[in-house]
Amino acid sequence: MGKYDRLEEFLRLTPETEITLSFVQIETILGARLPASAQIYAALWANEKNGPHVQAKAWERAGFKAQASLTGQTVTFRRTTEAKLERMP
Protein backbone atom coordinates (compact mmCIF):
# COMPACT_ATOMS: atom_id res chain seq x y z
CA MET A 1 0.00 0.00 0.00
CA GLY A 2 1.34 3.40 -0.97
CA LYS A 3 1.48 6.38 1.36
CA TYR A 4 -1.33 8.24 -0.44
CA ASP A 5 -3.65 5.26 -1.05
CA ARG A 6 -5.71 6.13 2.03
CA LEU A 7 -6.27 9.65 0.72
CA GLU A 8 -7.38 8.23 -2.62
CA GLU A 9 -9.82 5.90 -0.88
CA PHE A 10 -11.15 8.70 1.32
CA LEU A 11 -11.79 10.92 -1.71
CA ARG A 12 -13.41 8.09 -3.69
CA LEU A 13 -15.86 7.51 -0.84
CA THR A 14 -16.75 11.13 -0.17
CA PRO A 15 -20.11 12.15 -1.65
CA GLU A 16 -19.10 15.82 -1.85
CA THR A 17 -18.08 17.42 -5.10
CA GLU A 18 -15.76 19.73 -3.14
CA ILE A 19 -14.07 19.17 0.18
CA THR A 20 -11.44 21.22 2.01
CA LEU A 21 -9.08 19.40 4.32
CA SER A 22 -6.42 20.84 6.58
CA PHE A 23 -2.92 19.47 6.38
CA VAL A 24 -3.54 17.92 9.83
CA GLN A 25 -6.69 16.19 8.57
CA ILE A 26 -4.78 14.83 5.56
CA GLU A 27 -2.08 13.51 7.89
CA THR A 28 -4.77 11.81 9.96
CA ILE A 29 -6.22 10.18 6.84
CA LEU A 30 -2.75 9.07 5.73
CA GLY A 31 -1.75 7.86 9.17
CA ALA A 32 1.57 9.60 8.48
CA ARG A 33 3.09 13.05 8.36
CA LEU A 34 3.22 15.03 5.17
CA PRO A 35 6.70 15.91 3.98
CA ALA A 36 8.00 19.27 5.22
CA SER A 37 7.93 20.47 1.62
CA ALA A 38 4.11 20.23 1.63
CA GLN A 39 3.99 23.37 3.77
CA ILE A 40 6.52 25.27 1.65
CA TYR A 41 6.08 24.34 -2.00
CA ALA A 42 2.78 24.66 -3.84
CA ALA A 43 4.24 22.37 -6.52
CA LEU A 44 3.73 19.42 -4.18
CA TRP A 45 -0.02 19.99 -4.59
CA ALA A 46 0.07 20.43 -8.38
CA ASN A 47 -2.33 18.42 -10.51
CA GLU A 48 -0.64 16.13 -13.01
CA LYS A 49 -2.08 13.05 -14.65
CA ASN A 50 1.17 11.74 -16.07
CA GLY A 51 3.77 13.19 -13.74
CA PRO A 52 5.96 11.41 -11.21
CA HIS A 53 4.27 12.65 -8.03
CA VAL A 54 2.41 9.84 -6.25
CA GLN A 55 0.25 12.22 -4.22
CA ALA A 56 -1.17 13.84 -7.37
CA LYS A 57 -1.85 10.43 -8.89
CA ALA A 58 -3.86 9.51 -5.78
CA TRP A 59 -6.34 12.37 -6.03
CA GLU A 60 -6.43 12.20 -9.82
CA ARG A 61 -7.35 8.48 -9.69
CA ALA A 62 -10.10 9.35 -7.22
CA GLY A 63 -11.44 11.90 -9.72
CA PHE A 64 -10.34 15.12 -8.02
CA LYS A 65 -8.19 18.17 -8.65
CA ALA A 66 -6.38 19.85 -5.76
CA GLN A 67 -5.81 23.48 -4.89
CA ALA A 68 -3.65 24.21 -1.86
CA SER A 69 -3.48 27.22 0.41
CA LEU A 70 -0.04 27.18 1.97
CA THR A 71 -0.88 30.09 4.26
CA GLY A 72 -4.09 28.42 5.42
CA GLN A 73 -2.49 24.97 5.41
CA THR A 74 -5.50 23.51 3.61
CA VAL A 75 -6.19 21.72 0.35
CA THR A 76 -9.48 21.99 -1.50
CA PHE A 77 -10.26 18.94 -3.58
CA ARG A 78 -12.82 19.38 -6.38
CA ARG A 79 -14.37 16.48 -8.23
CA THR A 80 -13.70 16.62 -11.95
CA THR A 81 -16.48 16.62 -14.55
CA GLU A 82 -15.32 13.23 -15.79
CA ALA A 83 -15.60 11.76 -12.29
CA LYS A 84 -19.10 13.19 -11.83
CA LEU A 85 -20.21 11.48 -15.03
CA GLU A 86 -18.63 8.17 -14.00
CA ARG A 87 -20.45 8.21 -10.66
CA MET A 88 -23.88 8.62 -12.20
CA PRO A 89 -26.02 5.45 -12.39
On whether the CB atoms of residues 29 and 5 are closer than 8 A, the answer is no
DSSP β-ladder status, 18-22 and 64-69: unpaired
pLDDT < 70: residue spans in the chain: 82-89
On whether the CB atoms of residues 38 and 70 are closer than 8 A, the answer is no
Looking at residue 83, its pLDDT comes to 56
Looking at residue 49, its pLDDT comes to 75
Q: Domains for the chain: give ranges and CATH numbers.
A: 5-87 (3.30.56)
Looking at residue 88, its pLDDT comes to 43
Looking at residue 82, its pLDDT comes to 61
